[in-house]
Amino acid sequence: MGKAVSQKNKKKIHLADFSGIILGVLAVIILSIANPKFISGTNLGNLGQQASINVLLSLGMLLVIVTGGIDLSVGTIAGFAGVLVAGYITQGMPVFWAIMLVLLIGAFLGAFSGVMVVYGGVAPFIATLCMQTIARGFTLLYTHSRSIFVSDETFLWIGNAAAFGIPIPIIIMVVLTIFLQFVMRKTTYGRSLYAYGGNPNASYLAGINTNLVVLKAYIYSAIFASFAGIVLASRMAVGSPLVGPGMEGNAIAAVVIGGASLAGGTGNAINTLIGALIIGSISNALNLFGMQSYLQKVVIGFITLGAVLIRSLPEKLKKN
């Protein structure tokens, strides 16, 4: 009898891991039936390009959430990266070196957040909230609150060209998702990341350099955010000081809908990709219905809340 109950609980736990994806897919199916334009080839292509930015942000966010932390700075770091790369290129810097420099600056910002968390003992929420404000201030200071337009064809190719009929942003999104999935599942760092998120004390006693694991998570998160900002600036042909604030919300939602626990220790890149695509699909479908953007956020918020509530089921089952 006890084994039967245990087996039943395991099935519930497994189902709860995919609760967000299930809820999201159901929502997308309903919206697709209600508006057939959603599944047109042109619309799906646009959806993939739009979602690619949130996917990049979400992949970086995933690393931090697996450690049990959170990164509220990814949106403003992406915005800062976008205006920086636009500014450097318009000033004559070669595209490759402009991108490399911006990624390096992003890594430095992530390292700053990581140092505050690891060595300063600052809560991740507070540390990254401070970095969010700092990056936003840098953006406004650098641009004087004005957009920086880019006309360099090499740079614009990143966000607007296609290879074999597939938009470059979608290719970047898929390649980086597969790469991160491999890193998290097959490398020493990935295993250390899960170990720390599952039990920080046990991982420390096992000889894992836990400080370095967490520090790297924040650095990589900022690099992903910077790359997202670069791709977005290329796609829009402008580095805008208006871009960035609020983007972290969709990134967190994508990770949660993808099945990661905010307590840490779980989550993977492919499910995060699916979570981000679900959010993009819902927003896109609601756009086709003419729903205003702030109402779309309400819908996505409720779906995320549902995912979190169902995701908490495993912890309750374990206690029982």
Please write the tens of the pLDDT for every residue from 172-183: 999 999 999 999
Helix (H, G, I), strand (E, B) or coil at 241: coil
Do residues 302 and 295 lie in contact, with contact meaning Cβ atoms separated by under 8 Å? no
Asked if residue 38 lies in contact with residue 278, where contact means CB atoms within 8 angstroms, the answer is no
* Whether residue 276 has pLDDT greater than 70: yes
C-alpha dihedral, 269 to 274 to 280 to 283, nearest 10°: -130
Domains, the chain, ranges and CATH?
A: 2-319 (1.10.3470)
For residue 67, what are the CA distances in angstroms to 20, 208, 266? 20, 13, 9
Identify whether the C-beta of residue 100 lies closer than 8 Å to the C-beta of residue 158. no
DSSP three-state, residue 149: strand
Q: What pLDDT score does 254 carry?
A: 92
Tens digits of per-residue pLDDT, 136-146?
Answer: 999 999 999 99
Indicate yes or no: pTM above 0.85.
yes
Confidence of residue 30 (pLDDT cuts 50, 70, 90): confident
Closest CA relative to residue 276, chosen from 70, 19, 56: 56
Query: According to the model, what pLDDT value does residue 263 have?
Result: 87
Q: Is the separation of the CB atoms in 264 and 243 below 8 Å?
A: no
CA distance 279 to 244: 17
pLDDT attached to residue 294: 78
Closest CA to 215 of 77, 105, 111: 111
Which pLDDT score is estimated for 286? Answer: 80
The tens digit of pLDDT for each residue in 221-236 reads: 999 999 999 999 999 9
